[in-house]
Each structure stands twice: as C-alpha cells, then as structure tokens.
Amino acid sequence: MPHADSYWRIDRPAEGFSATDFPSLPAMTVRTFLPECYEPRYPYPLLVLFHGHGQNEEQVLRLAPKLSRRNFVTISLRGPERLGTCPDGRPACGWGDGSPESTAIIDELVLRAVEQTRRTYHIHSERVYLVGVNEGAAAAYRTAFSLAGQVAGVAAINGAIPRPTQGRPLFRLETVRQLRVMIAHGIANVAVPYSQAERDHRLLYTAGADVSLTPYPTTHRVHQDMLNDLNRWIIGHVNTPSENVLLGVQ
C-alpha cells in the first residue's frame, strides 16, 4: 500500500464540511469535517461515523462540530443498503443484514475511506476510532471486531452489539482484548433499553476489552454530554502508546 505521508496536504484548508470522491468506488459516498486551524504537521485522530437506520452520512456528520471543532478529522460513511428517501429528499440508508457478505462490503468501505483520508490529511496511524450512533452502532461494532488490531477503539451511542449471524462467533477473544470501547446510553431509551447496554458491557468486560459504560438522562436521542465525554475519552487515549499499526498504512 502506498506511503500515505507522501500525500498530505501541506496547506491549511478551511474548517468545515466537504465531500470526498473515490474513483475506485464510484458509488461510495463519504463526507468529511475538517477542524478549525487545521495544522498539517500535527497527526490528528480520525473519527469514522456510522449513521442510524434510515439516515445518511450528511445527518450523522452534523454531530462533528458539536463533538469538537479542533481535535479531530471526522468522516461519515453512507450505509450501502438503500431504504428509500428521507423527508429532506436525501437517501435513507442502512447497514445491511450483518451477513459475512454485508460485513465484508462495509469493512472495504471503511478501509478505503480511511486510506483516502490519510492520503489527504495528516492522520495518526494509531488513532482511528469508529463511532456508531443508534443502529449504526451495530455496524461500528461489527467493523471494529472484524478489523480489531487495526482500529484504536469503538464508541456506541445509544446502540447495541449485534447478534451473531449464521452461527458465526461475533468476535475472537484475542482480538477484542485489543479494543477500547465506550458505551454511551440513554437511561430512558425504549428503542434499545439500558439493560441491553449493561449486557453489552458485561460481555465485553468478560471478554477482556477495555470498556466503559455511562448512562445519560436521555432517550434514543444523542445528548450533548455524550459527545463531551466521547471527546474526553478519545483525547485521554491520544498519548497512550500502542503497538498496533492501523489499516496497513505506515
């Protein structure tokens, strides 16, 4: 794989939202939020956002400036499953049925998106975090379990670990032990009860993951305190040494 450092932008592009095209994947849609005062010499953490069921990459990326305007480069992906149209006329999308075929497609989308982003911006190779919101948490979990050792951590906001499909194990113990996991969940969430988040926490803790669970006074909606804590959680890991080399890009 090409050396990503050779492709960094050395100018200081303006803060804000932009779209990224992938010539090798013409159907792929990725949006980027660049922090203010982008410093090309600083290796930024990269956040990869997964939207909820029936939403799209535009909607979930609106969380990026609420999370932090300075600390991260953030990208959002569009789920490959088409579910119709949102009220605003944009596509409504999902993340598939969790089958091995569906998971492989999403893994490829994440790998290509991260590689392309690292060609454009200065991203730290050991600070790639997956963030799933609502139903997008299941896709973020699946991808993190599949690429464990290649991502620094995964955060689930008002979501849940998916059930195993086709009799396959959800994860391998030796890989999930390398993951940092943050679970942020509304105590009044009726779509995914808080008890489910507690079960997920017990499962990951028993498996050996570095996992935390925090309740919030909200329902299925994203509470600002969740984003504040996510910001602190990632920044708290920024200076933690890691032996992993992420996504095969040096």
pLDDT per residue, tens digit, the chain (250 aa), is 334 444 565 555 666 787 776 665 656 778 999 999 899 889 999 999 999 999 999 999 999 999 999 999 999 999 988 999 988 888 899 998 888 888 888 999 999 999 989 988 999 988 999 999 999 999 999 999 888 778 999 999 999 998 876 656 567 667 788 789 999 999 999 999 999 999 999 999 998 889 999 999 999 999 999 999 999 999 998 766 544 434 443 3
Classify residue 246: in a domain, yes or no: no
Classify residue 50: in a domain, yes or no: yes
What CATH number corresponds to the domain at position 200? 3.40.50.1820
**pLDDT score recorded for residue 9:** 58
**pLDDT score recorded for residue 8:** 62
**pLDDT score recorded for residue 247:** 43
Q: List the one residue out of 175, 127, 123 whose CA is nearest residue 151.
A: 127
Inter-residue contact 133 to 154 (CB < 8 Å): no
**pLDDT score recorded for residue 240:** 60
Q: List the one residue out of 141, 48, 162 whose CA is nearest residue 97.
A: 162
247, containing H or E segment: none
**pLDDT score recorded for residue 13:** 62
Q: Give how many domains the chain has, as a whole number.
A: 1
Q: Domain of 169?
A: 11-239
Pairing relation of β-strands 91-94 and 123-133? unpaired
69, containing H or E segment: none
Classify residue 6: in a domain, yes or no: no
**pLDDT score recorded for residue 65:** 95
**pLDDT score recorded for residue 3:** 46
**pLDDT score recorded for residue 239:** 63
